[in-house]
Structures are given as structure tokens and as C-alpha cells.
Structure 1
Amino acid sequence: MTDTDTTLVDADLFRSLLRRHAAAVVVITAPGSPPAGFTATSFTSVSLDPPLVSFALAHTASAWSAVQSADTIAVHVLTQEQEHVARTFSTRGIDRFAAHGAWHPGPDGVPLLEGVLATLICRVSQRVEAGDHTIVLAAPSFGEHHSDATVTPLVYHDGSYAHLKRTA
């Protein structure tokens, strides 16, 4: 491959390559009527000064209209015991909040899930168009985490949910 090679990988190879990348599983929620929530593996920290996080969402996603207009969103890092929560918030055509049940409204009406590993309430600061997705940059204004350091996050790898194994 040369520096001038501009050939892009095809979609199937791209998916296959990215399946090798393990990612934390989060549920992102946004206020609305009804509220919106979806499972994501695109969540990442962006900056410490100022604190910024990001995630990407497809324009075809059912949650897109709520996220597109939201000023406040919440990011919920799931524990390895919460695969059912990840599956609920990735299922199409259901009332995800009714199916999940364990949530309450937070600041600006943003839905907050209960019993998660960590929660960040964030103010949306920028939306960046990126192909068929939008990258949302958000500034955390509040955060809390599970106090038990032995609780581990749910991860997604090679097309399925996986659990981390702690080593001494």
C-alpha cells in the first residue's frame, strides 16, 4: 500500500475488521415524548480539558430524531450482568423503557437507568455529520459510578456480548 492509495475497503471487510475491536456497551438516553434510548458501542472519551465524550448514531436509527434535538443526554455504562438491558435497548419496534422498567426522569427529563456501572449526564455541545451517522460531542455535567470495584463492564467483541475476567 502506498501513501497515495485511496481505495477504500468494502463494507463487508470493514465490518469484519471492526469486529476485532472490543468496545464497552452503553445505553444512551434522550428526553422526548416518548423518551429515546439505544445501545451503543461507539462511546468514547474525547478530551479532559474540557471534559468531552462522543458517540455516533445512524440517521436511520429510531432514536435519531430525539438525539438530534436533545440538549441533554445520559450515557449508562452497563455491567456484565446487564446483557438483557443491552438487548432491550437494541430491539426495534418495542417500547424500550416499558420493557426495561427500571428508570426515572432526570435533569431536563433525560431518562436515567437504574443499577448501571456508571452514569454520565451530558450537555450536547456539537453534532458532526459523518457519512450515514452523526457524531455527537457532549460535555458531562454530572457523573456517578458503582462503588464496588469488582463489578466489570459489559463488552462487545466479534459480534457478541462478552464478559471481562479479572486477573490478579
Structure 2
Amino acid sequence: MTTVDRPGAGTVELRPVDVDSFRGLLRRQASTVTVVTTPGLRGNRMRPDLPPAGFTATSFTSVSLDPPLVSVCLGRASSSWPTVEQAEHVAVHLLASGQQEIAQIFATSGIDRFSAHPGWTTGPFGVPLIGDALAVLLCRVVRRIEAGDHTILLGEPLALGAGEDGDPLLHHRGGYTTTLGDWPEAW
């Protein structure tokens, strides 16, 4: 499509975007791995007799500091979507480097994720909380924004918890990894 060439800057060839090239580009980005959970719901009402929902997400980010807002994206074809669509509260768990198994469980469709990972408790608003995460944010869902085949959930943090300090679990090139190098303490 276009070639950009500046002395000393190298050459960048730009080409049209298709699904495969877009997916390939995104695999180059290292993203933190989170698990998002919400209680079992029917008609916006928490139902202890219904299974909770949870999913692995690498699309978590801070949106605003004042007021505090975060976002996470979920595909509407996801098995968790019918419950998350009704959720008033969610918990976002930042996974630690040793929690690849938890990430994989919550990324797997067609299983009871909470039976497969029994290391959780019920928190405020009935939201499942996963133990030993690096950090947990309990959020009130303040808005849903449809974006292509996904929905962006905007959450207002209501409470937070921090586990032991450690390295985050990262997703990079289609797999799980830990930090990509040693960083100075100030980081």
C-alpha cells in the first residue's frame, strides 16, 4: 500500500488490514492477563442457584483516574456474555506469573470454570473472588459500549485488594509468559 522511508529510520511497508494480519499484529503486543468474574444472574438479579460467570481477558486497561474508571472487552459470542451482559458488578483479577492454569481454565469454553478452579470465595455483591491474584478490583459496571463483535465494559472501582508482590502473567505471541526482562525497581 504505502512505503515510508526516512534516512536513519528504516523502512515501513503499510498494507491493507485483513483479519489474519490484524490478529498477527496483536500477537506481538504483550498484555497482562486478567480473569473477570460475576455472580450467577437472571434478569439483573443475583441468583445463588445459578453458576457464576468468568472469563480470561487481555483487554483490561485504566481509562480515567478522576473519576477512576477501567475497561475490559468481551466478545458477545462468548459463553460468559449472557451473564456478563446483565452484571451490575464484576471483579477483575490481575493474575500472577504462576497462574497460567487459572488463565487457561477461564479461557476454556464449555466447562464449569468455577468447579475446575475451586480456589475462589464469594465477595461483596456475590462476586466470585479468586485467591492469590496479584491484585483484584471490585467494580460497578457503569456502561456497556458495543464495538464490532465485542462489548466494552466500563467499570468504576469500588474496592481493591493486593496479593503478594510479584511478576504479572503476560500473554504474548499466543501463549503465556512472565515479564520480558528485568526492570529497575522504580518501575
TM-score by length of 1: 0.92
Structure 2, unpaired ranges of 5+? 3-14, 41-49
Look up the match of 2:7: none
Structure 1, unpaired ranges of 5+? 2-6
Superposition map of 1:108-147 within 5 A: 108-147=125-164
**In 1, Cα distance between the equivalents of 2:124 and 2:66?**
24
Runs of 4+ with >4 A deviation: none
Q: CA deviation at 1:108?
A: 1.0
**In 2, Cα distance between the equivalents of 1:128 and 1:48?**
19
C-alpha change, 1:8 and 1:126, in structure 2 (3 Å) is farther
Look up the match of 1:162: 177
C-alpha change, 1:8 and 1:65, in structure 2 (3 Å) is farther
Q: Paired residue for 1:47, among 56, 64, 70?
A: 64
Q: CA deviation at 1:167?
A: 4.2
Q: Is the counterpart of residue 11 in structure 1 residue 19 in structure 2?
A: yes
Specify the SS of the correspondent of 1:69. Answer: coil
**In 2, Cα distance between the equivalents of 1:67 and 1:92?**
15
Q: Is the counterpart of residue 28 in structure 1 residue 36 in structure 2?
A: yes
Q: CA deviation at 1:45?
A: 0.5
Q: CA deviation at 1:166?
A: 3.0
Specify the SS of the correspondent of 1:13. Answer: helix
**In 1, Cα distance between the equivalents of 2:87 and 2:120?**
18
Structure 1 vs Structure 2: percent identity of aligned residues?
A: 53
Specify the SS of the correspondent of 1:73. Answer: strand
**Amino acid of the structure 1 residue aligned with 2:168:** P
Q: CA deviation at 1:135?
A: 0.3
Q: CA deviation at 1:147?
A: 3.8
What is the aligned residue count? 162
**In 1, Cα distance between the equivalents of 2:176 and 2:105?**
13
Q: Which of 1 and 2 has higher RCO (CA within 8 Å, sep 6+)?
A: 1
1:128-167 deviation line (CA, Å, top 9, x unaligned)? 000110000000000011243xx11000011111111434
1:2-50 deviation line (CA, Å, top 9, x unaligned)? xxxxx96110010011111110000000111210000000000000000
1:111-132 deviation line (CA, Å, top 9, x unaligned)? 1001111000000000000011
Q: CA deviation at 1:54?
A: 0.2
Look up the match of 1:4: none
